[in-house]
Structure 1
Amino acid sequence: MPSFLEAPVAGAYHVLTALVSSLQPLTGAYAAVIAIVVCTVVVRLCLVPLSVRAQRGMKARAALMPQLKQLTERHRDNPERLQREVAKLQSESGTSLFAGFLPMFAQLPFFWLMYTLFSHPTVAGEANRLISGSLLGAPLGVHWPVFSGTPAFLVLAVLLTVVAFFSARLQLRQLDETATPMSRRIARLLPFGTLLSAAFLPLAAGLYLLTTTAWTVAERTVLLR
């Protein structure tokens, strides 16, 4: 690990282990699991302003779609002119085509920290106490659920599937009438990518994915109303 990354990893490790220690009298062996969920919820709460901005950006983008379609048809043979016109339209409307991705990009550092903390036997110069936690008999640092021999990954997979189903429905609702069949197919299948990710990540990172995707579904449902 590069030296400039050691400080944030060590800081996150000490915060998480302190939280685990405080939760242990109440939650026992599941203290690390609860700590992951709590930390994820705290991060998502901090990102609520970005989520609100992203939702507004997506609504503004949907309103711009007819004009974007006209510009594309008008300047399809002049990509440079099309790029300038699209940029001008975004500037005048005060929105961005990438506004909807803000919460996802903002979560990447936290996801990287979670993966790092549960993928190394030593952190901050000491034995990693976090990977001693478990869920339904599976250590939180375990990869490859096929060989785990516990129901933890099956439960996680079922819950991720349920969340992905509702996430896909929400994404399809947000597509406008100009969306292509390919776009609709991608929107329908993309949320289920969390299942594939969970198969190659530590169980702790899978818990993070479950918590954050469930939060996203609930948050979008509220914002859409």
Structure 2
Amino acid sequence: MDTIASLFSFITTPVSWVIVQFHKIYGALFGDDSGWAWGLSIVSLVVLIRICLIPLFVKQIKSTRNMQVLQPKMKAIQERYKNDKQRQSEEMMKLYKETGTNPLSSCLPILAQSPFFFALYHVLSSIASGKKIGAINQDLLDSARQAHIFGAPLAAKFTDSVEKVTSLDASLTDVRIVTAIMIVLMSASQFFTQRQLMTKNVDLTVKTPYMQQQKMLMYIFPVIFAVMGINFPVGVLVYWLTTNVWTMGQQMYVINQNPTPGSKAQDAYLQRVLKSVTSHGEVRGRTRRKMVKAIVAKGSDRNDIERKFIAGLGKLGLAAQEDGTVAKSEAAAADAEGGQAHKRQQPKRQTKAKRQTTGHATAEAKDTESAAAGSKTSLEKQDAPQDSKPKSAGKPASGSSRQAKSGQRKGPQRPKHPSKK
């Protein structure tokens, strides 16, 4: 870790300078040697870095969503050119270019933050070793070594020996308790951030291997951070815990205000918009109008959640407009009522005893009808006349034709020749 941190030594001076400037502000409030002054300086460094990384975070969101949408097409390309890796790569690059997707954009915030992380690690390691570094002179070095957070020095680690912890005026028990709690909080915040992303802000209509990979990472990343955390100084744990909390809050804001289409978060968001429209009769807020405008622009390509929202507006007698507003529409209300009227109603489920009673009653009714029909037929036969004449005199009765001998002609017979008598 020290070797990697030394590779980013070129940025240690700017990082240490920023920490010193924040320390001057917090030192005036809590004291120069206070752990709160140095701890809040590290927290402020994180906030400053993350604010600068917001544009990259926006690109990360767009790239992640585009990758989710492109997964079926990517899988089709892999199946089609599975024996030609070069053609497969060319088609992938062509697909990325056509859709404006950069696979590396999802990693940009982490890659951009890594130099600051290792630079801070290098600064804290130098403080633990008693070496001046960057903008931290001897006076600031002595002040940082005396700074404790809940009894643990900023430069102490979970794996430090008793002698090293004692040299920092602390006990090994306090250091391990504080670092263990911070490692658990760091891993838990990482897990919760990834979990809320997978359960609320993922398009449920797209089932791809990408989602399975994200679910695996949801459990793997916290374990990795827990294993690495035992080698981090307390100051670095403060940095990383603050970063995870910031990411979690940033992710919650995105889920609530700009959810992924087709996700549970979008359903909850549109339900809130519909409730607001019901109360106020209009779409309030530029972000909400922008969302409604995007749904109107999709037309027939809307997902089930968006169609449900449009139908909900129709029940209120409103129709979404191209500019994201809503207006009264009798046609939308009529369509909503018509769809509700033609909705198929399922019959109520009967109990077993009621079904058996109904079956017995139906069987008895059929037996009664059969008996009545048989008695009616017998009465008709008794009342019928015995000598019934044919309806047409010119037509022979069917019985006479049956009585004719085989080989004998029907109708009048020719007389035999005298010689054949």
**Is there any run of 5+ residues in structure 1 with no aligned partner, and where?**
none
Equivalent in the alignment of 1:78: 84
Offset from partner CA, 1:130-167 (integer Å, 9 cap, x none): 34322111111112257631132133123223312312
Matched, 1:193 2:193: no
Equivalent in the alignment of 1:178: 208
Matched, 1:13 2:16: yes
Matched, 1:69 2:99: no
Equivalent in the alignment of 1:204: 235
Q: Distance in 2 between matches of 1:158 and 1:55?
A: 27
Equivalent in the alignment of 1:215: 246
The letter for the 2-side match of 1:9 is T
Per the TM alignment, residue 98 of structure 1 is displaced from its structure 2 partner at its CA by 1.9
Equivalent in the alignment of 1:53: 59
Aligned residues: 225
Q: Distance in 2 between matches of 1:23 and 1:204?
A: 16
Q: Distance in 1 between matches of 2:75 and 2:9?
A: 47
Offset from partner CA, 1:139-197 (integer Å, 9 cap, x none): 11112257631132133123223312312313433485212756522332213422222
If the length of structure 2 is used for normalisation, what is the TM-score?
0.49
CA contact (8 A) 2:15 2:116 kept: no
The letter for the 2-side match of 1:140 is L
Quickly say closer, same or farther: Cα 1:169–1:31, change in 2 above 3 A: same
**Is there any run of 5+ residues in structure 2 with no aligned partner, and where?**
162-171, 260-421
Q: Distance in 2 between matches of 1:146 and 1:136?
A: 17
Quickly say closer, same or farther: Cα 1:99–1:7, change in 2 above 3 A: closer
Equivalent in the alignment of 2:193: 167
CA contact (8 A) 2:77 2:91 kept: yes
Secondary structure of the equivalent of 1:200?
coil
Quickly say closer, same or farther: Cα 1:27–1:193, change in 2 above 3 A: farther
Q: Distance in 2 between matches of 1:207 and 1:46?
A: 19
CA contact (8 A) 1:118 1:130 kept: no
Per the TM alignment, residue 7 of structure 1 is displaced from its structure 2 partner at its CA by 5.5
CA contact (8 A) 1:168 1:191 kept: no
Quickly say closer, same or farther: Cα 1:119–1:63, change in 2 above 3 A: same
Matched, 1:40 2:70: no
Quickly say closer, same or farther: Cα 1:58–1:36, change in 2 above 3 A: same
Secondary structure of the equivalent of 1:52?
helix
CA contact (8 A) 1:12 1:113 kept: yes
CA contact (8 A) 2:43 2:239 kept: yes
The letter for the 1-side match of 2:253 is V
CA contact (8 A) 1:159 1:210 kept: yes
Find the structure with the greater CA-based Rg. 2
Matched, 1:135 2:149: yes
What is the RMSD computed on CA atoms of the aligned residues? 2.6
The share of aligned pairs that are identical, in percent, is 24
Q: Distance in 1 between matches of 2:20 and 2:228?
A: 25
Q: Distance in 2 between matches of 1:26 and 1:97?
A: 45
Secondary structure of the equivalent of 1:98?
helix
The letter for the 2-side match of 1:134 is H
Secondary structure of the equivalent of 2:245?
helix
Q: Distance in 1 between matches of 2:217 and 2:89?
A: 25
Offset from partner CA, 1:74-123 (integer Å, 9 cap, x none): 01111111001000000000011221101000101110111011001221
User: Which structure's relative contact order is higher, taking Cα pairs within 8 Å and 6+ residues apart?
Assistant: 1
If the length of structure 1 is used for normalisation, what is the TM-score?
0.88
1:91 paired residue among 94, 97, 112? 97
Quickly say closer, same or farther: Cα 1:137–1:104, change in 2 above 3 A: same
Quickly say closer, same or farther: Cα 1:131–1:197, change in 2 above 3 A: farther
The range that moved more, 6-15 or 209-218, is 6-15
